[in-house]
Amino acid sequence: MRLATWNVNSIRSRVDRVLSWLDRADVDVLAMQETKCKDEQFPFERFEAAGYEVAHVGHSQWNGVAIASRVGLDDVEIGFPHQPGFDKNADEALLSTPVVEARALGATCGGVRVWSLYVPNGRTLTDPHYAYKLEWLAALRAAGTDWLTADPGAQIALVGDWNIAPTDADVWSPEFFEGKTHVSQPERDAFHAFDSAGFTDVMRPLHPGPGVYTYWDYTQLRFPRKEGMRIDFILGSPALSARVTDANVDREERKGKGASDHAPVFADLTD
């Protein structure tokens, strides 16, 4: 099985590109983030014509996650247990109801429980979105711990745009990012907590050095200057990680007209 994740940065703008890549890369399961559309706007028919079942959750032109699979799509679940919402009025000290955003979608595909995840950005270290991000990650880790406690042999993949560069090797310039989100110690601690919970970054053992990135900002010629970040991950449970034979970033998909600012990340699993 080939499992992949890709922040597509608007599926309606890039459906042709995504479907072309699925065919060329021979992908069985693709988790997508930032689809940026409502459910009724998602191009289901295009994926179905290519042989994929699709689950999607999107409420507006922001966020949105999906899973496309040609090896089965069962037990679809919108949001993980106790997923926190975001209070859009928190910075104004107003009373409101936190909204659970379209950031997490689970489905069982070919025996693997896949979670497509779009972790909150954080914005700045003093923004309410930063506290929300840490709360969101803590809740996801608690859910993951419960899943593995219930079934230590479960095949689980937590995949997506994590909006965290867990080490200095995952950014083009630690000095440039100093004092910013994505690299702060609380965020990095939250990411590494998944390792202690039993989930492994399946690509890092195969590519231990710096310079392996998954995201390049559209501005300042970041991509041709190789000034990127590694913020998209496939974290596998012990049983799933043991099946990984290869994992990589398809950097070529960041090239050309109409590219997302993220490249797809994939992992190959033995039967």
Binding annotation for Mg(2+): 7, 34, 161, 163, 261-262
Whether residue 194 contacts residue 147, with contact meaning beta carbons closer than 8 Å, is answered with no
Spatial separation of the C-alpha atoms in residues 105 and 133, rounded to whole Å: 17
Spatial separation of the C-alpha atoms in residues 165 and 74, rounded to whole Å: 32
Q: Which residue has the tokens 């200057």?
A: 225
Element (H, E) at 107: strand 104-109
> Pick the catalytic residue: 118, 130, 132, 213?
118
Element (H, E) at 12: helix 11-25
3 state SS of 199 = coil
Whether residue 244 contacts residue 268, with contact meaning beta carbons closer than 8 Å, is answered with yes
Active site includes 129?
Answer: no
3 state SS of 188 = helix
| Residue 55 in tokens | 């689950």
Active site includes 262?
Answer: yes
> Pick the catalytic residue: 129, 132, 161, 170?
161
Handedness of CA 87, 89, 91, 92 (dihedral sign): negative
Active site includes 118?
Answer: yes
Do the strands 2-7 and 29-33 form a parallel or antiparallel pair, or are they unpaired?
Answer: parallel
| Residue 270 in tokens | 């033995």
Cite the active site residues. 118, 161, 262
